Chain A
Amino acid sequence: DAKTTQPPSMDCAEGRAANLPCNHSTISGNEYVYWYRQIHSQGPQYIIHGLKNNETNEMASLIITEDRKSSTLILPHATLRDTAVYYCIVRVYTGNQFYFGTGTSLTVIP
Chain B
Amino acid sequence: DTEVTQTPKHLVMGMTNKKSLKCEQHMGHRAMYWYKQKAKKPPELMFVYSYEKLSINESVPSRFSPECPNSSLLNLHLHALQPEDSALYLCASSLDSSSTDTQYFGPGTRLTVL
Binding site for B on A (CB under 8 A): 30, 32, 34, 36, 41-46, 49, 87, 91-103
Contact = CB atoms under 8 A, between A and B. Distances in A.
Nearest to B50: A96
B90 A43 contact: yes
Contacts of A46: 102-104
Interface residues of B, number: 29
Interface of A (DSSP majority class): loop
A97 B56 contact: yes
Nearest to B97: A96
Contact of B100 (A44, A49, A87): A49
B96 to A, nearest CB: 8
Contact of B103 (A41, A98, A102, A103): A98
Given A97-B56, A100-B44, A43 B105 contact: yes
Nearest to B88: A41
